[in-house]
Structure 1
């Protein structure tokens, strides 16, 4: 590696941004570039993988649900390509099981949308857990527990909606409708 290239990488680290919303990507990419990142954008898992193999990013911001695919697959593959890649999973469909799986697969942090650029950058650089995280007093609602269970079964079937629906004893379209709804907060 040439000294010029090595210095440029330190000044402008490569960041892979994968989300199926092109407008969101354009806005976030611009904000991240203003903070010194060299941003590379993909809007599906396959393009994200191809781009990651080509650029070997130092950082990655990956959406949990990319179209009908799971961003967890991309987190796993990015970690396999380079264990030093700092990955933040970003999602509008947060669940306990997907947060745990994202971390186990190699993400350093898990944020729910909407998250601002500063939160994302801070998460990319965060090395330790926070002992001051608020502990909720009341248990999760039945609707939230259902959402968590659906996510757990979906992860257990590698994101395959048809297989998860069979395991749950429900029609595939019913499961798809339930998954497309935003999760209940608590």
Structure 2
């Protein structure tokens, strides 16, 4: 009787053998970032990539917002990653990693796209919305290899909170401006 290998064993071999022959790995640290950006401020947060494999890998790093679509509004926070493309050298470990920087900017306005549907046709209307109170975003930072046959992608979670105008202060300033305008109108 001839022994026939099971299909699961064959599939496991097909998945493992390319990973062994590539000898490339990639890691990111820390796995989660919590960041608060003050009004008109910038926040710089360091992330670290390491490659304990035996060959250098080219990596593209990107930020994708996970909860930016809120109803008919689509928010775009100002988040940059530097460098967005780099080569992670071989034999780097968590003790000697390569640094990338996440820059979050808070200009008190966030780019917003309003996309209503009128008579079955969808429109996209961009504008800048002021941040009143605090606006929280959850995103994902993805580092993906580009020069290998079997691509590797690692992710880190990013929780970014933008501090905006205090609603009570905004109300007081608005009332003061209205009172000043009324006073000036009635003086004439």
Report the TM-score range of the alignment, normalised by the length of the smaller protein: under 0.3
More helix by share: 1
Give the structure, 1 or 2, with the largest relative contact order (CA under 8 Å, sep 6 or more): 2
TM-score, scaled to structure 2? 0.20
